[in-house]
Every structure is written in structure tokens, then in C-alpha cells.
Amino acid sequence: MEKIGAESPYAVREPYLAPDLASTGSPLSLPDARGYAIRMAISDIAGISENEIDQIIQARPYLDLNDFVARSGASYPTTQALILVGAFDQLHGLHAEAVEGALNRRDLLLYAQDLHKLSSSKSSKSSNSKKSGGSQLTLGLTPPPLEPTGLLDLTQSEKVRNEMDLTGMDISHHMLHFYGDFLNQIGAVRSSDLIHQRAGSTVLVAGVKVSLQTPPVRSGRRVIFLTIDDSYGCNDITFFEDIQESSAGLLYSSSLFLVRGEIRRTGPRGISIRATKVWELGASYEKWRNLNSRERAVSE
């Protein structure tokens, strides 16, 4: 089994170079895309309505979060979701990494809560004024200042979890970014390196579930096909009946996996893996981390 280097391959990405295959006829290379980005659509936010999307677009541009709450017509849950996925980071100059004493997403969440309470109070006073036929001044209903509260910023893993929950995608980091040290230590093999493994060799691979299928097979035997992504590509893994009893429940209920299996060559560059064991990656990582903590405590 090939062991990955000491530096976490999931923490630092090198510029992508397409493989120089015989079928291409010439070397291939792609430009370094670091520093560029793909814009996410507002419609990717879970729970947002078409009416909210139209109102948000029509009222652009916005000066700040206060301006957004006042004019966008977005509900509080939608505003909260946009904050959690970083939609206001650039507008308020938030730092990518936690900086002591600086504004962060927790500050924006509290500020948005105050703004929506204020908006609701204004609406209530306006409604009461109309019902009474009079005119009521709404004194004291000015927005509070946006200042750092001293609360710790969301961790990188919390930010990615919010992205997954609210958009179904890991945007700022790949999910496996946080397991790099663990995967290096146990000798997990990246999908891009599987081509160098010999047929029949046993490997450990990890990744996020991309698809899970149980198509009908001519033999009548039930076969489960799992595809996982590890940020370097995808691995296709086959689960035959001899392992399904112990793994099927996990495959359907989880999204992050650590899999042990045997390499199967399906062509000159075709690779698949026949699974012999599967674990939930997060649970395996926690066991490893707790064991390391106990070992450090004993050594001290």
C-alpha cells in the first residue's frame, strides 16, 4: 500500500495538470485557477422562495447587512442562511481566518437578529397607527451599531457543515480537508494515485458519497455500487453480498466513508475497488484523535 507523504494532501492543492495520455497525442496542461472562483446562485440556498429571490435581485446593490434587511424583503431564516454561507463576508470585510477583535459571522448573526426584531417592531407600530387613524412616531427604533462582540468566529469545519446543510455543497473546503493528518497516518491512497497500485493489492480510500446504486444484475445477486469523491477524483467501489449485511445500513445512512478494498483493473487506466470493510469516516477519525490524546497525556 502506498503511503501518502507527511504533509496533508487535503490541505494544499497544487495547480492541476491533466495527465499526458497516449490518446491525447500531446501533453496537456491547464492554467493555475487559484484566486478565481465560481459564484454560487442564490437559488442554491435551502428554503429560499422564488419571491425572495426576485426581490433580492431587484433591490441590488446593498450597502451593508442593515441595507439588505431593510430593502430586500428576505425573511430572517433566509438572511441567516446567507450569513452562514458567507454572502456578507466581503461586504463587511470579514477575514477568511479567525482574527481576534475583528468582526465575524457570529457578530453578523446577532446583528441580523436585532435588525429583524427592529423591522418587526416598526411594522407593528405602523399597523397600530393605521388602525387608530393617528400618527405615531417610532422614536428609539434606529439600528444598533455593528461592532465586534468578542465571540469566537465559526470554525472552518462549522462553516463547511453550514454550507453542506444549506446548499448541499462544500464550498470553502472539501470535506476531507479536515481529515488529512488522519488519512496520511493510516496510509490512505488518493484517487489520483490508485493507478500506481497493483491489481489485487489492498488499499484504504476515503471520500464523500457521490452516488449509491443497486442496479439489477443478470445473475440475480444484489450488488451495491458506491462512488466517493476525495477532492482528487472519484473512486468506484463495489459491495458484493458477502459484505452487504455489515455495511448496507451505513452506506445508506452516512455520507463520509473510509473503505478498505482490493484493487480491480477494468482497463489500461480503469480502476475499481472491491470493498472488504467500510467505516464512517468521522467516527474513525474521533477514535484516532482520542487515542492520540491519551498517548500524549501518558507521555507527559
Q: Is the pLDDT of residue 107 over 70?
A: yes
State whether 108 and 185 are in the same domain.
no
- Residue 146, SS3? coil
| Cβ proximity of 224 and 239 under 8 Å | yes
Give the per-residue pLDDT at 125. Answer: 59
State whether 155 and 210 are in the same domain.
no
* Stretch (H or E) spanning 51: helix 50-58
Domains: count for the chain:
2
The CATH number of whichever domain residue 245 belongs to comes to 2.40.50.140
State whether 209 and 133 are in the same domain.
no
Last residue of a domain, one of 132, 167, 202: 167
State whether 81 and 158 are in the same domain.
yes
Q: Is the pLDDT of residue 280 over 60?
A: yes
Last residue of a domain, one of 167, 183, 198: 167
Q: Is the pLDDT of residue 290 over 60?
A: yes
Residues 6+ apart with CB under 8 A from 177: 10, 11, 156, 160, 231
Give the per-residue pLDDT at 201. Answer: 95
Q: How many Cβ atoms are within 10 Å of 53's Cβ, its own excluded?
A: 16
**What pTM, to 2 d.p., does this model score?**
0.70
| C-alpha to C-alpha distances, 258 to 38, 172, 190, nearest whole angstrom | 29, 22, 12
Report pLDDT digits (tens) over 119-168.
877 766 555 555 555 444 444 557 778 999 999 999 998 999 999 999 98
Give the per-residue pLDDT at 20. Answer: 53
Tell me which residue range forms the domain holding 89: 42-167
Rounded to an integer, the average pLDDT of 214-234 is: 88
At 265, phi and psi to the nearest 5? -85, 125
Rounded to an integer, the average pLDDT of 260-276 is: 89
State whether 162 and 141 are in the same domain.
yes
Amino acid letter, 277: K
Q: Could you tell me how many residues make up the chain?
A: 300
Last residue of a domain, one of 144, 167, 190: 167
- Residue 172, SS3? coil
Give the per-residue pLDDT at 4. Answer: 37
Q: Is the pLDDT of residue 188 over 60?
A: yes
Grid cell for residue 44: 442554491
State whether 209 and 257 are in the same domain.
yes
Q: How many Cβ atoms are within 10 Å of 222's Cβ, its own excluded?
A: 14
State whether 48 and 163 are in the same domain.
yes
